[in-house]
């Protein structure tokens, strides 16, 4: 059973945390994720949950405390955004390499500079190679559903890696939307109790966490971590299927929207997927065979599955909400193109950078992108493979 409510994305994630009732939550405030620890601490003060909340002096400390609590055998989490995630950088790597199945609620916000507090994906994309599983939400409902699935993924014996649950700052974190909430008992049953096999406070089986690894062992540890990341794909799919069977919502690695016969497909992550879907519906009414592939899971990267989904398209627009400063697109573009090549899928793929630092992205922009894809295929002219959307002209600057 579920009940209908209205919540912001931050409220939805905080409510999921209340229902899960983890053991420890260290946190330090930063816009736009501040409401999550604020709401959790309010739930605790009202005796609605018994999580141990630890106010700390920085985001580096919050992730350090999260790792320490997890190492001691406690189900742990924290929340942050932007520069807070950057301050955690060292600890993100330690959490993953020490195989700590903790969870981070990340509210995506651009990294400085120039200083800006609005949404793009530069924070999480910057952390893409730290060894964390990354799952993205289009809307508040998905932010809630994704968070409930995080611990069953992280704590699976085949995985034992930390999970980053991402949602777009302000666009979903602060916007109020209709949402379906699961019953508390159903969430607890789905997530289950945490029973770690090894932990520091187990006096009967003393272990060391984070020892110095000499060259003879460090490479094997990295390979084991990589194997766990590869295994997590299967676990993510299994957990998503169980969640959908129990609650009737959600999808697995990505969502394919009207792609069955699509000749032109837009690949996109996060809240802008809703804009793309609306534009595709409009274009379908005009006879344009357009579709959207909304990526849910960025780590592990589903290269083979994406290549299979795109193999019948004539052209693909790959949408980046970050900038890699490499002259030919961002991380999503690089990885999709590499995946297409590896799996021998030869389709025109154009990279578009959009929405940096909260810049508007509208259905009109989507119309224009699909028009460009059509012209690229039918005009046979050379085209620029990396371009910006909604960029001010030189005359306006």
pLDDT for 397 equals: 36
- Eight-state DSSP code of residue 4: E
Pairwise CA distance, residues 12 & 46, whole Å: 18
The Cα-based distances of 179 to 163, 209, 242, 274 in angstroms read: 23, 40, 20, 16
Entry field: residues in the chain: 397
pLDDT for 235 equals: 98
Pairwise CA distance, residues 164 & 154, whole Å: 10
Total Cβ atoms within 10 A of residue 250: 21
pLDDT for 381 equals: 77
HSE of 180 in the Cβ direction (CA atoms, 13 Å)? 9
pLDDT for 172 equals: 98
Any idea what the Cα angle at residue 24 is, between residues 18 and 25, rounded to 5°?
Answer: 70
Q: Is 360 exposed, middle or buried (0-12, 13-18, 19+ CB in 10 A)?
A: exposed
**C-alpha gyration radius of the chain:** 21
- State the angle between helix axes of 89-97 and 215-247 in degrees (0 to 180), rounded to the nearest 10: 90
pLDDT for 394 equals: 58
Pairwise CA distance, residues 179 & 140, whole Å: 7
Structure tokens given for 139? 């809307």
Domains of the chain, earliest start first: 2-247 (3.40.50.970), 254-388 (3.40.50.920)
pLDDT for 203 equals: 87
Phi-psi sector, 118: left (phi>0), alpha (psi -120 to 50), beta: beta
The Cα-based distances of 101 to 198, 357, 382 in angstroms read: 12, 31, 47
Block means of pLDDT (10 residues each) for the chain, length 397 residues?
93 98 98 98 98 98 98 98 97 98 98 94 98 98 98 98 98 98 98 95 89 92 97 98 97 98 98 98 98 98 98 98 92 97 97 97 98 93 88 63
SS3 content of the chain, % helix, strand, coil (to 5): 40, 20, 40
């Amino acid at each position: 059973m579920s009940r209908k409510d209205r919540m912001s994305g931050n409220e939805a994630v905080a409510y999921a945390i209340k229902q899960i009732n983890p053991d420890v939550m260290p946190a330090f405030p930063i816009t736009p994720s501040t409401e999550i620890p604020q709401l959790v601490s309010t739930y605790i003060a009202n005796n609605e949950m018994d999580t141990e909340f630890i106010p700390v002096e920085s985001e580096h400390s919050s992730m350090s405390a999260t790792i320490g609590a997890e190492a001691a055998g406690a189900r742990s989490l924290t929340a942050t955004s932007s520069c807070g995630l950057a301050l955690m950088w060292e600890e993100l790597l330690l959490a993953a390499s020490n195989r700590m199945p903790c969870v981070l609620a990340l509210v995506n916000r651009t990294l400085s500079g120039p200083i800006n507090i609005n949404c793009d994906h530069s924070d999480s994309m910057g952390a893409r190679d730290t060894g964390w599983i990354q799952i993205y939400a289009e809307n508040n409902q998905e932010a809630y559903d994704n968070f409930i699935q995080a611990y069953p993924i992280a704590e699976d014996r085949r995985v034992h890696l930390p999970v980053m649950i991402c949602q777009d700052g302000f666009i979903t974190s602060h916007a109020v939307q209709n949402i379906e909430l699961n019953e508390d008992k159903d969430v607890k049953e789905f997530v289950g109790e945490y029973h770690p096999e090894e932990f520091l406070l187990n006096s009967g089986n003393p272990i060391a966490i984070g020892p110095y690894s000499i060259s003879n062992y460090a490479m094997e540890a990295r390979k084991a971590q990589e194997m766990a990341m590869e295994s997590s794909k299967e676990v993510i799919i299994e957990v998503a299927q169980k969640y959908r069977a129990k609650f009737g919502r959600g999808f697995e690695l990505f969502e394919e929207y009207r792609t069955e016969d699509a000749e032109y497909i837009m690949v996109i992550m996060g809240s802008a997927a809703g804009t793309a879907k609306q534009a595709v519906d409009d274009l379908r009414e005009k006879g344009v065979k357009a579709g959207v592939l909304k990526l849910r899971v960025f780590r592990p990267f589903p290269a083979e599955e994406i290549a299979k989904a795109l193999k019948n398209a004539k052209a693909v627009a790959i949408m980046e909400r970050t900038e890699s400063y490499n002259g030919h697109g961002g991380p999503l573009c690089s990885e999709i193109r590499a995946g297409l090549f590896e799996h021998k899928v030869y389709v025109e793929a154009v990279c578009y950078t959009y929405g940096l630092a909260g810049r508007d992205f509208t259905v009109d922009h989507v119309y224009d992108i699909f028009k460009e894809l059509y012209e690229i295929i039918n005009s046979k002219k050379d085209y620029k493979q990396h371009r910006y959307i909604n960029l001010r002209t030189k005359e306006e600057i």
